Amino acid sequence: MLILTCPFCGPRNEQEFVCAGEAADRPAQPQGLDEAAWADYLYNRDNPDAPVHERWWHLHGCRAWLRVQRDPHTQAILDCSAQGQP
């Protein structure tokens, strides 16, 4: 059970959040991408043996979308910051 430090609400239990998986930025020009590149954005994720960038949503708190960097070995949260302006 992780503790995530929401930048607005402080340290909170994982149960307050919804994990939305690895962060992948939507390409700025989807129309300009060929099929392989679009499929890559839709379905492929890196899964590196290194800290992962994830998106979490603070549903039972301030409802901010957060960018979280997590070490998959130790579960240490390296960074937890807001996406855009609230």
Partner 1 sequence: MSGWRLPQGGRLINRDRALSFRFEGRPLQGFEGDTLASALLARGTAVVARSFKYHRPRGLVAAGWEDPCAFVEMQSPRAEPSVLATVEPLVEGLQARGQHAWPSLRFDFMALADRCSALLPAGFYYKAFKSPAWAWPWFERALRHAAGLGRLPDGAGQSDPSAYERRFVQTDVLVVGAGVAGLWAAHALAQAGARVILADDAPEPGGRGLDRPAGGVVDAWIAQTVASLDAMPHVRRWPSTQVVSRYDHGLCLAIDRSRPGHERLWRIRAPQVLLATGQIERPLLFAHNDRPGIMLAGAVTSYLHRWGVAAGRRMVLATNNDMAWTAAFEAHQVGIEVLAVADLRPQVHPQLTERAGALGLRVELGARVVAAQGRWALRSAVLQLASGQRLSVQADLLAVSGGWTGALALHAQRGGRSHYDATLHGMVPENDDAQVIGAARGAPGTPAALASAVRGAQQVASALGLRLPDLPVPAVPSEPSGFSATDLQHIGKGRVFVDWASDVTLDDLRLAHREGYESPEHLKRYTALGMGPDQGRISALHGAVLMAQLRGLSPGDLGPTRLRPPYTPMPMGAIAGADPGALIRPVRRTPMTDWHEAQGAVMYESGQNWRRPGYYPRPGEGLMQALERECRACREAVAVYDSSPLGKFEIWGPQAVELLEYLYTCRVSDLLPGRGRYAVMLREDGRVFDDGTVFRLSDQRWWITTTSAQAQAVHAALEAALQVHFKGRLEAFVTPVTDQWATLVVCGPRARELLQACDCSVGLSRGDFPFMAVREATLAGLPVRLFRVSFTGELSYEIHLPARQALALWVQLIDKGQILGLTAIGSEANHVLRVEKGFISVGHEVDGCVNPLDLGLAWAVRMDKADFVGKRSLERDLQAPAGRPALVGLLVERGEVPLEEGAQILKVDLDMDPRSALAAEQASAGFVTASVWSPSLQRAVALGLLEDGADRQGQTVWVTVTAPSGLARRPARVVPPVFVDPQGGRMRG
The sign of the CA dihedral 80, 26, 61, 73 is negative
CB of 68 to partner 1, least distance (A): 13
* Closest residue by Cα to residue 51 from 64, 69, 34: 69
CB of 14 to partner 1, least distance (A): 8
Residues in contact with partner 1 by the rule CB under 8 A: 1-3, 18, 20, 26, 30-31, 33, 35, 38, 42-43, 55, 57, 59, 63-65, 73-75, 82-86
CB of 47 to partner 1, least distance (A): 18
Closer CB to partner 1, residue 31 or residue 47? 31
Question: Which regions of the chain does DSSP assign to beta strands (E)?
Answer: 3-6, 10-13, 18-22, 52-57, 65-70, 77-82
